[in-house]
Amino acid sequence: MSSAHRKRAALHLPIWAAVFLTLVCVAILGLSSWREWSARDVELKNTDIDTANLAQSLAQHADDTFELADNVVTGLVHRLGIDGDGPEAIARLQTFIDLRKPTLGRIRGLFVYDETGRWLATTESVNLNGLNNSDRDYFRYHAQSADRGMLIGRPVKSRSGGQWIITASKRFNHPDGRFAGVVLATVDVSYFTQFFNKFTIGQKGAISLLSSDGIMLARSPDDGTYVGRDLSSTPLFKERTKRPASGTYYFRSPLDGVQRLSFYKTSDHFPLMVLATKAEDEVLASWRRDAAVRMMFVVALLLIIAVIGFFFIRQLQARQRMAAELEAKEADFRLLAEESSDMVTRIGMDERIHYVSPSSSRVVGWAPEQLMGTPALAGVNTEDLPRVKALVAALKRGDQQDARIVYRSRHRERSEIWIESTMRVTKGYETGEINGVVAISRDMTEHKDLERKLASLATLDGLTGIANRRHFDEHLEREWARARRDGTPLSLLMIDVDQFKKYNDRYGHQAGDACLQSVAQALAAQVRRPADLAARYGGEEFVLLLPDTDRAGCELISSKIRDSLAAIGIDHELNLPSQKVTVSIGGAIAALQDAKASSSSLVEAADRALYAAKDEGRDRLVMSGRVIELSKGRIA
């Protein structure tokens, strides 16, 4: 480019600078807005997770409550079917109910009515004479319907106690099949309200228990007007057939007009629904406050950038008048180089150092006067030297105008360091010919160390902290080759947490993660030798690779693992009979005889042994037969 062209380009530089600053400001504002909106989405997503976990737990609690009521009512119906409803049978039934009363727990009361609605027996201390419930909806339903299943009715006011109750009832019949009466169990609405009050969902949050047809059974908080309200006309129930059994649901509450973020869960066993909600303004209050503060800082930053940009452009215009003189002065280059924390080096066409900045003492340990005139590539590691030489040669030829390269180089006080050099060719002002290379170099040793650490983290499972599947597969292949070479056995234990899906469903995914971490710690404690490896194989399944270990060793280590988990004693009510978290272990030992054998046979044998352990009752070790690789890949 000629001098005249360079001058014309320089005249347009302030305009381009102004355009660039404008784009930077717009980009900063756009990125900040996008980040704040993303933070809002994260806040809403976290709320969805919290309300989902809460709704699922409360739905399970409601299921348990009405399952208890169903069991009690079914027992009384069965007793009536055997003993009949004569005076003596009713007297015995009353005695039986009185004995059961202290053990009813969540059940508020039990009632037995004959076909006319007259009270026959109850847990309540009332005079039964003159009491009749034939006008109740549940009684009329059972009198008219032959269905003998349990009916969960609408909330009603108790005639014996005056409080709001939820009814669970079944009909019982005469021996000839005619309607003989109703057995009723009641649960206080206040029981659910008090239970819901134990959960923190914000001042405007709410938890509701509803029937599948939209009747409010219980709510927290409750101002006394919510119980019994019909919400079947709301979109949640009108579109119920189009919705899944559980999911998020954003709506404006018809009860108090609050915009809510919620999760609903329909019971798997009863016509019930639990709705856990949080107020949107409460959920987003913290985000709005923080976003306003951050956006104020962004606006302030943009103002500062605009002011600085204005003065920068003015300075740029002033510097244009001095450009020719500044380009001719090497002093400007030296000033910039000596003020830089990076090492600035000027390399001539003879590949010797013609100038080096004072930062060389910090970067490579030698003072500038010690480096002047020396070969620029003298300290480069012999393995990296060909790459560096090729790059410098390409720059000198003009094939590239600039380049960046990372290589190893000697340090005066340390053995070797990593250097990152950004190189750019320099040209004579008058001739435009390449006359050397300027290199800006910095110490990248710490950065390389960090890269190595990150590479090691890639082999670990993020949840449990032990090796991941990828690392296990690689380690298995190495140990398989070593065992074949040395003629030593190679053992593998596959460990699976018993009833883990039920554990997750019962206690939630956070507790499930904690459970997996405890199991991983128990396995890691058994890794005593450098070649041993504990890894997470996938989900709730783990593996323990034990080179040069026989059957007795596998049995000993398996026993220690199970003892360790027993000592921890993690509760698991659905894992019978122990009601604690246990593991099933399948083991296999490989004796390698065929050069064409693969490590997958050992994994398959241990996996089959694991399934055998589960089939035999879980919480045990099953060892497969010795795995011997034959010429056709069969397993003995």
Summarised one tens digit per residue, pLDDT across range 26-42 is: 898 899 889 888 888 88
What is the homologous superfamily of the domain 458-628 according to CATH? Reverse transcriptase/Diguanylate cyclase domain (3.30.70.270)
Please tell me the predicted confidence (pLDDT) of residue 633.
Answer: 32
Please tell me the predicted confidence (pLDDT) of residue 632.
Answer: 29
Domain topology for 338-449: Beta-Lactamase (3.30.450)
Angle between helices 3-83 and 189-196 (to 10 degrees): 150
Cβ–Cβ < 8 Å for 546, 601: no
Sequence-ordered alpha helix ranges (H) in 423-550? 445-457, 469-486, 500-507, 509-524
Please tell me the predicted confidence (pLDDT) of residue 595.
Answer: 53
Please state which of the four CATH numbers 3.80.10.10, 3.90.280.10, 3.30.450.20, 3.40.50.2300 is assigned to the domain occupying 47-304.
3.30.450.20
Neighbours of 159 (CB within 10 A): 15
Q: Do domains 338-449 and 458-628 have the same CATH topology?
A: no
- Compute the distance between CA of residue 590 and CA of residue 625 in angstroms, rounded to an integer: 9
- Compute the distance between CA of residue 191 and CA of residue 365 in angstroms, rounded to an integer: 76
407: Cβ–Cβ under 8 A, 6 or more apart, which residues?
380, 381, 384, 387, 388, 418, 419, 421
DSSP string, 115-137: TTSBEEEESS-S--TT-B-TTSH
Give the position of tokens 């339903």: 141
| DSSP assignment letter at 625 | P
| Inter-CA distances, 621 with 550, 560, 611, 615, Å | 14, 11, 10, 11
Start-to-end C-alpha separation, the chain: 80
Angle between helices 600-615 and 469-486 (to 10 degrees): 110
Closest CA to 583 of 632, 530, 521: 521
Neighbours of 91 (CB within 10 A): 12
Which regions of the chain are under pLDDT 70? Answer: 1-12, 320-340, 429-430, 454-457, 592-597, 625-636
The residue ranges of every structural domain in the chain are 47-304, 338-449, 458-628
205: left (phi over 0), alpha (psi -120 to 50) or beta: beta
Please tell me the predicted confidence (pLDDT) of residue 3.
Answer: 52
Summarised one tens digit per residue, pLDDT across range 407-450 is: 888 887 777 888 888 888 888 766 778 888 888 888 777 777 77
- SS3 label, residue 445: helix
